[in-house]
Structure formats: C-alpha cells, structure tokens
C-alpha cells in the first residue's frame, strides 16, 4: 500500500467514534484555571490545555497554530458540550483531531513532494507533520481510537524525518514481562559510539517525538544519545497499566542496556520530565549502580499526589488524563485523591532517605504541578544535589537557559 495513502486508510469519515472529553466519566466537574510553563494554559471555552509556547518550541509556527484553533472554534458542527469549542463530534471539520491531523497531512504531502529534490527540507517537513499529529492525539486518553490513529501517523512521520535529518533513529525492542517494549534511540552524529546516554522518562501527556528539540539542541551537540521509553499506559507502553511501581518498565530496560551496542551502559543518566521524574528518581534509588545521576524537569514526585488542594488546582483534562492512565473509566476528585496518594515517593519511603547518586532538578516559577518544594526535596535527598530555578517570563529564553544548565550538568556526570 503506498505510504501517501496511509492517512486515508487510518481515517475514514465517521461520526460514531466517542468524543475525547466524554471518555472519562466525572461525577464532579470542579475545573480550575491555570497557566503552566510546560502544559500551557486553560481557557474557559476549551476542554484541552492550549500550549502555544511549547508548540512553538517544538517547531510549530504560532500563526499556523492560531489558524487551526480558529477552524476548530468556528465550526458549526455538533459538540458534546456546546460550551467547549474542542468537543466537536466525529472526524470532520472542527474536531480537534481532524483539524490538527489535517495540518499534519499538508506538511506530509510537502515532504513527499520534496523527498528527491531537497532531502534536508523534506526531513524538516516530516518533522513538522509529526508534531501536528502529536498535538492531534493529545491528551492521549485510553480508548480514543481517532487519537490512536493520529499517534500512528506521528510515529511514522518521525521515523521518516530521521531518514533525512543529521541524526540516527533506531527502534529497539526490549523484553519486558514476556512482551516487547519499543524504545526510540536517538544517536548523535557527533562522536563515535558507544555513546553516553540519557534514558528519558517522559511525561503523561507527550509522545516520544515531542522531545526531539531536547535532543537536537541540548544533548546531541555534546555527543549524548537519548533513549525514549514511554510511561506505562502511553504510546508503545500502552499495554502496561500504570501502578505505584512507576519505574517497572524503565528498570527492565535499564538492565538490558549492556546489550545495545550504540549505548555506553556505564555512562547513563535518567532524565525525568513531570510525572516521568517519579520514574527517574525511583530508578536513582533502586538502580543506583547502573546510573551516573538523575535529572528532573518540573518534577511530580510528592505534592500533587498527597495535596488535595493542589489536585483541585489542576484542570479537568489533566485529571481525566491521570484517571485514564490508571484505567479509571469513571472517577470523582475524592477517589482520584485516594488513588494518587500511593504514588508519592516520600510516602513510599524513598525521597527523604539519602540517595547514593547525584540528582539535579529544574523548578519553574509559580508551577502548580510542581512547586519549588518538589525540587528541594529531590536535591536535599542526595549528598550531591543541584537546584536550577526558571522564571516564568519570558518563558522560551528562560526555558533555554534552564535546559542549557541541566544538559551541562548531565554532561559533567557522564564524562
């Protein structure tokens, strides 16, 4: 089957697919309005968080993003909630997944047209397509069939981009609990392998291709490889359930790195972003002999899990996303609070004890998801800790500064 027709095969006109905001049944509808450095901002007439700054950081043109949002907002089609613009029913005009995927297909076609004439530009177009498909599938709720199809397109476009761009991407299968778990290994063009490597533990709301700017701008120039492994219940790890043993999959992957010829398994740092920091810090305690250090970005390791007030400050879409990862088809705020309390690394008896390896944490100003106390708890739990603080404005330049400091710390630990 021709590659160009894959999107047509995956997406067929249908109005029978459940609309994303209806997948998790909530008895309580206590919503919150926030602006987050990494997640974006809530708007009263949108179910999803609108994250224009980070979309731009990934390479999405802000004007193009506004045009997609405008098409969604202007749609006259039926919505499950007329007060929420991004709840159009069915794969058609105005539906969130439809409009973002449609934009991805525009860039996919441009990439195909340029593949022979200008490979580098074609690669950048494939990369843009993968970003649009990824946004289309957000927030990646379990049972969202249209979103799963967009994820397939994002994966395929990202692999196509790697064929043209100056890095090597390898899909590596790891044996995990009797099954295969696929991770993406990004190999820099600088230096010769085996490479020092960052084991990336991403957030609950991102796909592996979302972290390309982190690799190409901060790690690759230092000759550092990046291995991405999805959290349980997400992406390539969707068959596994998220439990309080959050590091279960990554721990088994870590134990197999000596079998990957492109990775220097004696020089590995775990990097956790948001919920992924829970995974990375657990690895620091449980697998300290296999790691040179643990780095965290906006970590979620304790406060959000035990503080009900903090949970109520998060928007409904984020609580729905967590409930979906926990395979809770219906929930209340009280039930979610009870479930999440088991995920605190302090409650589990880890954080607060001395960790034998260095840890570094980046904290963002006024971060609802990760207050400064989270990062302080992490760095105070080791004899070699470093705290990096990032001001909320201007975000892009401050984010760049924070990532530069973090990547330099990682580089020092891997030397």
| DSSP H or E segment with residue 96 | helix 96-114
- Co-location of 282 and 222 in the same domain: yes
Asked whether residue 4 carries a pLDDT value surpassing 50, the answer given is no
Q: List pLDDT tens digits, range 317-338.
A: 999 999 999 988 888 888 999 9
Task: At 36, give phi and psi (nearest 5°).
Answer: -115, 145
Which of 165, 184, 216 marks a domain boundary? 165
Number of Cβ atoms within 10 Å of the Cβ of 117? 8
Give pLDDT tens digits for 303-314.
999 999 999 889
pLDDT at 174 exceeding the cut of 60 = yes
Look up the domain containing 36 and give its range.
32-165
Number of domains in the chain: 2
What is residue 411's predicted lDDT score, i.e. its pLDDT? 98
Task: With cut-offs at 50, 70 and 90, classify the pLDDT of residue 32.
Answer: confident
Q: How confident is the model at residue 47 (pLDDT cuts 50, 70, 90)?
A: very high
Residue 2 banded pLDDT, cuts 50, 70, 90: very low
Question: Taking the model in full, what pTM does it have?
Answer: 0.93
Q: What confidence category does residue 191 fall into, taking pLDDT thresholds of 50, 70 and 90?
A: confident
Percent above pLDDT 90 for the chain: 81
Residue 7 has pLDDT above 60, yes or no: no
Q: Are residues 116 and 228 in the same domain?
A: no
> Is the residue at 278 inside a domain?
yes
Bridge partners of residue 173, in order along the sequence? 182
SS3 392: coil
Would you state the pLDDT for residue 1? 40
The three-state secondary structure class of 98 is helix
More confident residue, 228 or 334: 228
If asked whether residues 46 and 183 sit together in one domain, one would say: no
- Domain match, 174 and 148 both: no
d(C-alpha 257, C-alpha 91), whole Å: 41
- pLDDT tens per residue, range 12-24: 555 578 999 999 9
- 40 forms beta bridges with 36
Say if residue 211 is in the same domain as residue 94. Answer: no
- 378 with 284, same domain? yes
Identify whether 5 is part of a domain.
no
Question: 211 and 354: one domain?
Answer: yes
For residues 54 and 31, the model is more confident at: 54
Same domain, 183 and 116: no
Peptide bond before residue 194 is cis, with ω within 30 degrees of 0 = yes
| Together in a domain, 187 and 128 | no
Q: Which residues pair with 79 in a beta bridge?
A: 88
Mean pLDDT of 140-167: 94
- Residue 177 pLDDT: 86
pLDDT tens for residues 258-291? 999 999 999 999 999 999 999 999 999 999 999 9
Q: How many CA atoms lie within 13 A of 220 on its CB side?
A: 17
Alpha carbon dihedral 372, 376, 377, 378, in 10-degree steps, equals 110
Pairing of strands 225-229, 263-273: unpaired
84 and 214 part of one domain: no
pLDDT given for residue 50 in this prediction: 96
Answer yes or no: is 256 within a domain.
Answer: yes
In a domain, 101, yes or no: yes
Q: What does the block give as tokens for 140?
A: 């990646």
215 and 279 fall within a common domain? yes
109 with 239, same domain: the answer is no
């Amino acid at each position: 089957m021709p590659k160009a027709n894959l999107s047509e095969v995956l997406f067929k006109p249908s109005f029978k697919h459940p609309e994303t905001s209806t997948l998790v049944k909530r008895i309580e509808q206590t919503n919150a309005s926030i602006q987050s450095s990494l997640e974006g901002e809530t708007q009263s007439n949108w179910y999803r968080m609108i994250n224009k700054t980070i979309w731009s950081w990934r390479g999405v043109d802000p004007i193009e993003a506004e045009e997609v949002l405008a098409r969604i907002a202007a749609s006259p089609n039926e919505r499950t909630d007329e007060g929420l613009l991004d709840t159009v029913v069915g794969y058609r005009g105005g539906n969130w997944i439809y409009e973002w995927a449609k934009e991805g297909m525009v860039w996919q076609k441009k990439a195909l047209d340029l593949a022979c004439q200008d490979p580098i530009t074609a690669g950048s177009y494939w990369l843009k397509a993968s970003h649009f498909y990824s946004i289309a599938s957000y927030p990646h709720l379990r049972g969202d069939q249209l979103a799963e199809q967009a994820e397939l397109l994002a994966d395929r476009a990202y692999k196509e981009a790697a064929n043209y761009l100056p890095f090597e991407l390898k899909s590596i299968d790891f044996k995990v609990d009797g099954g295969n778990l696929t991770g993406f290994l990004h190999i820099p063009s600088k230096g010769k392998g085996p490479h020092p490597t960052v084991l990336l533990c991403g957030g609950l709301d991102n796909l592996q291709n979302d972290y390309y700017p982190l690799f190409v701008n901060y790690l690759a120039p230092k000759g550092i490889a990046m291995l991405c492994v999805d959290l349980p219940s997400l992406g390539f790890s969707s068959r596994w359930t998220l439990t309080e043993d959050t590091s279960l999959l990554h721990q088994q992957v870590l134990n197999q790195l000596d079998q990957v010829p492109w990775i220097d398994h004696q020089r590995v740092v775990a990097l956790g972003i948001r919920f992924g920091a829970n995974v990375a810090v657990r690895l620091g305690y449980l697998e300290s002999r296999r790691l040179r250090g643990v780095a965290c970005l906006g970590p979620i390791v304790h406060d959000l899990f035990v503080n009900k007030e903090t949970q109520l400050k998060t928007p409904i879409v984020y609580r729905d996303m967590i409930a979906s990862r926990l395979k809770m088809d219906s929930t209340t705020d009280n039930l979610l609070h009870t479930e999440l309390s088991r995920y605190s690394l302090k409650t589990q008896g880890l954080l607060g004890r001395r960790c034998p390896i260095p840890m570094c944490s980046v904290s963002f100003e006024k971060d609802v998801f990760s207050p400064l106390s989270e990062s302080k708890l992490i760095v105070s739990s080791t004899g070699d800790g470093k705290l990096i603080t990032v001001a909320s404005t201007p975000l892009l330049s401050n984010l760049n500064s924070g990532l530069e400091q973090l990547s330099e710390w990682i580089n020092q630990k891997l030397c």
